[in-house]
């Protein structure tokens, strides 16, 4: 190692540096003689562990050196801003925004989420019902239509038959809840990208907003809406969606976390602007908006 080389060089040259504490010499020499095999790792007496020369300084100089180094740790103190109530939430919002931004950069429309064999799918009875208010908001399934608005060529009301007329995709994918649990389920529906084409959506727009029959609301980035595994889902386990799982139509995105998968859809809107306080039911309370998996 460089330090040892330096040390040996100085020793052989008999240039004992003046600032080395003299009493250190015999002791180190003795231990060196005893353990010749450990020679390679002996700490040189004139060089500190970081490879810097040991120095003999005045107390004033010592204080000055300490102060200088202390100032260089200011970035650590900056982290202390998280302890100040006034700055805390804005900083955490920035942190979450950074994570969301990185998540969006990581996402590729062409990278598919893992799909599973039917033996890995959890039985329907063990697929949890998850809702924020009521399991069944009482949608009238006979008269239900999906209202389409915003940046689309064909706004209006769409019924389930029109959505079911699109090519049907069935996939076994993982549903991941923000709480930490997950289930592999079987989902069937129309590709969101096919539906967006049907309604003549401007796919260069940034978001799709969704309103639900239970008052829930969501907004999804367009890249995810165009992902080939993103479905307008009307079936689970080969059966029409039951009321608890969001009948008659829900979002199903294996690249998004559970709370993004809006159920009981009533209307969708293609837009470039999200209202600040209407980004999503949980997001407005502090969850990540991107919610990507």
Partner 1 sequence: MATIAATVKPAETTATVTVSYEHPWVVRMAHWLNAVAVFVLIGSGLRIFRAFPSFGPKIPQQDFIDVPGQLTIGGWLGGALQWHFTFMWIFIGSGLMYVIYELATGHWRQVLFTARDIKGVWPMARHYFLFGPKPEVDAAYNPLQKLAYTSTIFFGLVSTLTGMVLYKPAQFWWLAWPMGGFHFARIWHFIAMCGFLAFIPGHLIMVALHGWNNFYSMVTGWKRDPEYLG
Site residues for partner 1, 41-70, by CB under 8 A, read: 41-43, 45, 48-52, 54-60, 62, 65-66, 69-70
Q: What are the residues facing 150 on neighbouring strands?
A: 270
Nearer to partner 1, 202 or 284 (CB): 284
Residue 287 phi, psi (nearest 5): -70, 160
For partner 1, which residue of 5, 16, 106, 159 counts as binding (CB under 8 A)? Answer: 106
Residue 102 CB, nearest approach to partner 1 (Å)? 9
Contact call for residue 111 and partner 1 (CB under 8 A) = yes
Place of tokens 């959505």: 163
- DSSP per-residue letters across 92-131: HHHHHHHHHHHHHHH--TTPPPP---GGGSPPGGGS----
Residues of this chain, 150-209, that bind partner 1 according to CB under 8 A: 174, 176-183
Dist. CA 152–CA 267, nearest whole Å: 13
What are 110's two structure tokens? 């062409």
Residues of this chain, 121-150, that bind partner 1 according to CB under 8 A: 122, 125-128
Dist. CA 105–CA 262, nearest whole Å: 23
Residues of this chain, 235-264, that bind partner 1 according to CB under 8 A: 254-255
Residue 172 CB, nearest approach to partner 1 (Å)? 14
Nearer to partner 1, 217 or 282 (CB): 282
Dist. CA 160–CA 229, nearest whole Å: 19
Nearer to partner 1, 57 or 273 (CB): 57
Dist. CA 182–CA 257, nearest whole Å: 10
Nearer to partner 1, 9 or 35 (CB): 35
Residues of this chain, 15-34, that bind partner 1 according to CB under 8 A: 19-21, 23-24, 27, 31
Nearer to partner 1, 32 or 197 (CB): 32
Nearer to partner 1, 128 or 200 (CB): 128
Residue 92 CB, nearest approach to partner 1 (Å)? 4
Nearer to partner 1, 67 or 142 (CB): 67
What are 79's two structure tokens? 């982290």
Tell me which H or E stretch contains 176: strand 168-176
For partner 1, which residue of 90, 95, 138, 215 counts as binding (CB under 8 A)? Answer: 95
Residue 29 CB, nearest approach to partner 1 (Å)? 12
Residue 187 phi, psi (nearest 5): -130, 145
Dist. CA 263–CA 212, nearest whole Å: 6
């Amino acid at each position: 190692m460089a330090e040892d080389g330096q040390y040996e060089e100085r020793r052989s040259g008999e240039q004992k540096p003046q600032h080395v504490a003299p009493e250190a010499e015999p002791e180190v020499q003795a231990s060196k003689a005893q353990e010749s095999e450990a020679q390679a790792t002996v700490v040189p007496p004139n060089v500190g562990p970081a490879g810097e020369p040991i120095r003999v300084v005045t107390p004033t100089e010592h204080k000055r050196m300490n102060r200088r180094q202390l100032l260089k740790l200011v970035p650590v103190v900056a982290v202390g801003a998280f302890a100040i109530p006034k700055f805390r939430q804005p900083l955490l919002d920035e942190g979450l925004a950074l994570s969301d931004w990185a998540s969006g950069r990581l996402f590729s429309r062409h990278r598919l989420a893992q799909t599973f064999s039917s033996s890995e799918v959890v039985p329907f009875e063990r697929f949890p019902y998850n809702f924020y208010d009521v399991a069944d908001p009482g949608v009238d399934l006979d008269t239900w239509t999906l209202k389409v608005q915003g940046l689309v060529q064909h706004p209006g009301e769409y019924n389930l038959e029109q959505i079911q007329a699109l090519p049907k995709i069935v996939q076994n994918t993982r549903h991941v809840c923000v709480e930490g649990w997950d289930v592999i389920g079987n989902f069937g529906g129309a590709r969101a990208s096919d539906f967006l084409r049907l309604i003549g959506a401007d796919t260069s727009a940034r978001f799709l907003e969704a309103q639900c029959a239970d008052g829930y609301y969501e907004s999804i980035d367009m890249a995810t809406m165009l992902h080939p595994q993103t479905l307008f889902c009307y079936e689970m386990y080969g059966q029409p969606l039951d009321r608890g799982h969001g009948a008659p139509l829900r979002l199903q995105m294996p690249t998004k976390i559970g709370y993004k998968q809006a159920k009981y859809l009533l209307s969708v809107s293609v837009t470039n602007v999200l209202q600040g306080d209407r980004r999503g039911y949980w997001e407005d309370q502090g969850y990540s908006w991107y919610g990507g998996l």
